Structure 1
Amino acid sequence: MTNWNTRKKRHDEVVANAKRPNHMYGYCRVMGCSKPARAGTSDGLDQRFCRAHAEHYQRHGSPYKGSYTAKQLNPYRQAALLWLLDNENLPWVENAIQRVKGLYQQAGPHVEAFRLRGLKPKERAKAAIARLRKKEVDPRVVIAAWLAVEMLVLDDPQPDSKIEYKRVQAAKIVHRMASGSHKRWEREVQRRGNLGQSTQVVVEEMHVYPRSRGRVLRQLGEMLESAVELLVDHHLEEAHAFKRGRDKLGKYEDRPYPKRLG
């Protein structure tokens, strides 16, 4: 049996199992949710969550808690970046910067956002990092995104402190930094009017933004964690104390970067 036939047979088995309800999984594990887990319906194999909470988990990294908003994150991102700029000669800050630069170098060739279809999650995550490299995003801005999530989780009265949530939250920030692909071109169009045929130049644009969810975010978050974990271990408390000091002085701006970085 060829590999293609084996994959098709396995695919058909999974589809059949997904359509066969298993009544052992009658409830979603999220407290207060009255819907059955997807394995208890003909809608999938998830034994833990209903469809709505499974989708929420894919997008946010937690079935219970949503993503932090820009308004919540921006003061932390700005404070983290200022702390990095003031302490960039510390060995673990230098180490994190070099590790992010290493991610840039190892990300492979730049891939346009409209050519990502069919790539595996890890390849899509690397493509996002390659877009950061092409845009020449400062590695310190990437590090600040992770530090901001760590500090916000510490200050959150109802946090989700699991590493997967942190990975997804940081990856969502960085994924937005990578943005998408933008193309603009001109073409000539023949138009016929009362005075005869004329040629008109039409400007067309294409803007494609990759979806920010699922295993791509997990892969991207894991790469970011590997770059900053030693910095977090050694200096998170100092960065957090710097943020609290700014709060006491009333220094707050609803923007992710300090003015000196534009």
Structure 2
Amino acid sequence: MTSASQRQRRIANLRGRIAGPQDAYERCRAFPCKNRTTADRGEGLNRLYCRKHIEFYRRHGSYVKASYGAGELRPYRLRALGWLKAHGHELVVRSAVESVQRLYRSAGAPIAANRLTGLSPGDRANAAWAQLRKANVEPLEVVAAWLAVDLRIRDDLQPDRHEEYRQVQAAKLIHRMAGGMHKRWELERPDGKMALTEFHKHPVSRGRVLRVLGCQLQAACGELCIA
């Protein structure tokens, strides 16, 4: 186990690297952004991008290309689902569906969206799979989500072909499919009348959890491809 003194040395080293001179570009590499990089500002170690584009990358899997919208992906999901149903007898399709089923089974108990804060990316990914299972999302629809992103990227005139972008886009899509927590209850007001109260909470779709989900989905479905 790491001792307290070792942790303190690592923290001191990190602070020194942040505060010290950096071999960094002065401006963010995302054209036409004119912000200074986090390394140049002494706010981080990234020598290529500013804080704004680092946060953009955490949400979308790319420093410059935004995520595909649900409506944009819907026709591709329908096309992929139709193809999967027509080829459901093929070994590669059955293998992908079974892999998603294993992810469902190994995910553990669902965790409410308001209890995810502080959990590791792996635990949050398991919570997403458990929520998909709880929401009765068919594994075939999850496989279709991966294929839909692949089809959309192939049709994109200005695509981002990095694996990370593909993984994050698929993860964001199944995150939406899993839904969130929705509760309604009645409370008595001071005047004696009942008032309906609602609480809606969705998991935050950003950061390492998207990479974990995307990698797991790619491992399950990566051999599938619609010609």
TM norm structure 2: 0.90
> What displacement does 1:122 show?
1.2
Provide the residue aligned with 2:198 in structure 1: 205
Provide the residue aligned with 1:130 in structure 2: 130
> What displacement does 1:8 show?
5.3
> What displacement does 1:109 show?
1.3
**Matched-pair contact (CA < 8 Å) for 1:149–1:170:** yes
Write the mapping of 1:46-65 to structure 2, written as runs, cut at 5 A. Answer: 46-65=46-65
> What displacement does 1:41 show?
0.4
> What displacement does 1:19 show?
4.9
Q: Using the alignment, how far apart are the partners of 1:42 and 1:8 within structure 2? A: 20
2:204 aligned with 1:217: no
Partner of 2:224, secondary structure, is helix
Partner of 1:110, secondary structure, is coil
> What displacement does 1:178 show?
1.1
- Percentage of pairs with the same residue: 44
1:158-213 CA distance string (max 9 Å, x none): 11111000000010100011111122334445x36xxxxxx544433221111111
Write the mapping of 1:1-262 to structure 2, written as runs, cut at 5 A. Answer: 3-4=3-4, 6-7=6-7, 10-11=10-11, 13-15=13-15, 17-19=17-19, 22=22, 24-188=24-188, 191=190, 199-232=192-225, 236-237=226-227
**Matched-pair contact (CA < 8 Å) for 2:58–2:207:** yes
Question: Which segments of 5 or more consecutive residues in structure 1 lack a partner in the other structure?
Answer: 193-198, 238-262
The count of aligned residue pairs is 227
Partner of 1:111, secondary structure, is coil
Question: Quick one: which amino acid aligns to residue 79 of structure 2?
Answer: A
Q: Using the alignment, how far apart are the partners of 2:41 and 2:106 within structure 1? A: 43
1:23-50 CA distance string (max 9 Å, x none): 6331322243332221110322212211
Q: Using the alignment, how far apart are the partners of 1:141 and 1:14 within structure 2? A: 44
Distance 1:71 1:208, change over 3 A: closer
Q: Using the alignment, how far apart are the partners of 1:85 and 1:61 within structure 2? A: 30
Q: Using the alignment, how far apart are the partners of 2:101 and 2:204 within structure 1? A: 24
Distance 1:23 1:227, change over 3 A: closer
TM norm structure 1: 0.79
**Matched-pair contact (CA < 8 Å) for 1:20–1:41:** no
**Matched-pair contact (CA < 8 Å) for 2:70–2:173:** no
**Matched-pair contact (CA < 8 Å) for 2:147–2:224:** no
**Matched-pair contact (CA < 8 Å) for 2:60–2:165:** yes
Note the aligned Cα RMSD (angstroms).
Answer: 2.2
Question: Which segments of 5 or more consecutive residues in structure 2 lack a partner in the other structure?
Answer: none
Partner of 2:30, secondary structure, is coil
1:86-137 CA distance string (max 9 Å, x none): 2211111111111110110011111111111110111111111110011110
Distance 1:158 1:9, change over 3 A: same
**Matched-pair contact (CA < 8 Å) for 1:21–1:41:** no
Partner of 1:221, secondary structure, is helix
